[in-house]
Structure 1
């Protein structure tokens, strides 16, 4: 039976790798997947290239395409900002609500949410509201609004399938070991490009250096998050929310080789680990086929000749982990603030306005406010998100270079 997909963030890292998984699956078993919808934020050219490859897919573009005056082309227009396409036949939805309109007007069995940042929450909510299962690569959806999403999924009896390598690994381990027998979850981190850099040098790190991840192929913002371990802080919050464990029961280990993605410790003290090559196509492929299990099209890990090391993160090098735990203890509004202030701080660092080491300072200042407020619906979630961004911007203005 063909599974219909909507791929959000189709021109980004997750989107491109998802389409590669789809192509491989369809070559092995023709008709496994049908791409029903695709979205991009600003990458008009990339989306148009995909339009040629998937002519039946509905398309959504977050920003107006490069046409005269910056406006979206009118239906029936023969003008085209490129030399080889009639845009009006391909762009179904354009603008800030394009993704929501795509989800409201396109039927699918599974939505792959590869949108970067907090805008991904609206897409996750719209997907579940429509009754479509969700393969979730957008961390912010869980960090900002998991209780809301979980209630939607439960009411509609549909699945939220994590796509992050660590949470995909935990998803499999928890399913195999049984949640009742597990006492501790552990997610791993490569440590990023600066795990061995002298602490005194961290303030001089450039955005280009921070965006160059030594192991994973990712987008720019998430690569910077991996350098500060904010990425792991978000994943720590995700693990607590997705699997229902306490903050104290989730551990983070530095594992430079990135072969072990997650571990669980059971009641008898045994450790069970999920190992695979550091390749995002593997967890994506698992999510696409879930609940079925298929032989991987992307090779297997051979442990012969491999060495593995593990150590605890240095809290002075990676304060974003401590701040994530503080946010978790405060509640959902505080985790919203953690994410929002980090997005502002990373943007300011990437623009050269603050130093690498200032990112954690911005987040710490934001979390020092009172976040003991409920966040049970989208309006309240985005209210707290806006307030956190305002405070973070003000602090950036005070400390900027």
Structure 2
């Protein structure tokens, strides 16, 4: 039986991971759980899955004395000290980097939904996994789809990776109305139920920009051959094109339990009742992304082309700007403008270790804070 630690257990990824384990209780057991501030939901999950000690709350002091690991440093210790085969990292944002590092360093495979781990430190995290003979298994629906599509393909025969995007809540909104977008508007995702930060990233399509960078790092594939198409129905999760011009697609109903289960059961593919789709009378459509509406998607390609620490800069500046938008300090259109201004600065140092990654991240955020004040 595979023992699994779930980080971000009360969020969307965590809840879906728990449901996969609930429905496959003969194959998996929960070894540890973490949450940021959702103490009540964490304890409820602990009761159901009989987790008695390995409970971590990273974002606040808990009321219950059942939670033994309190704070960010203690979360890392929980990962290190808990006997497990795999860690599912569903933590949002750059806070997920060090837990990913700790999972691999302590000899556990990593089922990764935290795209920032790869965006910020792709070469370093892949090298760490290789040194420890551990796996990084993508949980994002698009990267999981590409991963599955490539399993029986020689990468040299693949000429294009195509990531799909719902287009978020503003795909059909006239550009001239973008200046009036509110936080409530940006949180109304048409397909997925997610937290605030990732919902806003979907609204700006920064999430797809991060996924382009992630695909480049995960699959060693040039950014110039990674495309993005808006696909409102969210049935086709990714495609690949081979040298003969043929295309292969991963198709299902949108259900995050599918990529989570595929990561947990790798290298096997097990029966699942999730996401079964009847293609009869199913209509799918695809569109190019509008550069004027979604400049953050295209700025990701700029950061990828520039290399060095520009990918860190793209992510950190976006996180800072999105935080300011959530707090009501800046408008929606200022998010991409701040990221663009940060990318015009010099981030040409290549980080040699995780400490340098985090130091660059801090420097970018400091610069972004100054830009934010200029936009208030």
TM-score by length of 2: 0.98
In the TM superposition, what is the alpha-carbon distance from 1:332 to its structure 2 partner?
4.0
Deviations 1:101-139 (A, max 9, x none): 111110111100000000100000000011100000001
**Who is 1:74 aligned against?**
none
1:62 aligned to which of 58, 63, 74: 58
Deviations 1:316-337 (A, max 9, x none): 0110011100100111410101
8 Å CA contact 2:258–2:275 kept in 1: the answer is no
8 Å CA contact 1:330–1:371 kept in 2: the answer is no
Deviations 1:151-181 (A, max 9, x none): 1111121110000000000000111222121
**Who is 1:75 aligned against?**
none
8 Å CA contact 1:10–1:47 kept in 2: the answer is yes
Q: Which residues of 2 match residues 105-144 of structure 1 at below 5 A?
A: 105-144=81-120
**Who is 1:281 aligned against?**
257
Answer with 54-63 or 363-372: which moved more.
54-63
Deviations 1:328-371 (A, max 9, x none): 01114101010001001111111111111110001001111011
Report the Cα distance in structure 1 between the residues aligned to 2:140 and 2:154, rounded to whole angstroms. Answer: 20
1:148 aligned to which of 121, 124, 127: 124
8 Å CA contact 1:144–1:332 kept in 2: the answer is no
**Who is 1:44 aligned against?**
39
Q: CA 1:273/1:10 → structure 2, altered by over 3 Å: closer, same or farther?
A: same
- Residues 1:3 and 2:2 aligned together: yes
Give SS of 1:7's match: strand
**Who is 1:12 aligned against?**
11
In the TM superposition, what is the alpha-carbon distance from 1:56 to its structure 2 partner?
3.2
**Who is 2:294 aligned against?**
318
Larger Rg: 1
Cα RMSD of the aligned pairs, angstroms, is 1.1
Q: Which residues of 2 match residues 2-401 of structure 1 at below 5 A?
A: 2-26=1-25, 30=26, 32-57=27-52, 58-66=54-62, 81=63, 87-88=64-65, 90-400=66-376
In the TM superposition, what is the alpha-carbon distance from 1:96 to its structure 2 partner?
2.2
TM-score by length of 1: 0.92
Report the Cα distance in structure 2 between the residues aligned to 1:306 and 1:55, rounded to whole angstroms. Answer: 42
8 Å CA contact 1:186–1:262 kept in 2: the answer is yes
Q: CA 1:332/1:120 → structure 2, altered by over 3 Å: closer, same or farther?
A: farther
8 Å CA contact 1:36–1:107 kept in 2: the answer is yes
Report the Cα distance in structure 2 between the residues aligned to 1:294 and 1:46, rounded to whole angstroms. Answer: 29
8 Å CA contact 2:11–2:195 kept in 1: the answer is yes
8 Å CA contact 1:143–1:332 kept in 2: the answer is no
Give SS of 2:87's match: strand
8 Å CA contact 2:5–2:88 kept in 1: the answer is yes
Report the Cα distance in structure 1 between the residues aligned to 2:60 and 2:88, rounded to whole angstroms. Answer: 23
Report the Cα distance in structure 2 between the residues aligned to 1:223 and 1:190, rounded to whole angstroms. Answer: 12
Report the Cα distance in structure 2 between the residues aligned to 1:339 and 1:44, rounded to whole angstroms. Answer: 28
Q: CA 1:312/1:386 → structure 2, altered by over 3 Å: closer, same or farther?
A: same
In the TM superposition, what is the alpha-carbon distance from 1:55 to its structure 2 partner?
2.9
How many equivalent residue pairs? 375
In the TM superposition, what is the alpha-carbon distance from 1:17 to its structure 2 partner?
0.7
In the TM superposition, what is the alpha-carbon distance from 1:47 to its structure 2 partner?
1.3
Answer with 174-183 or 369-378: which moved more.
174-183
In the TM superposition, what is the alpha-carbon distance from 1:392 to its structure 2 partner?
0.8
Give SS of 1:91's match: coil
Report the Cα distance in structure 2 between the residues aligned to 1:96 and 1:137, rounded to whole angstroms. Answer: 18
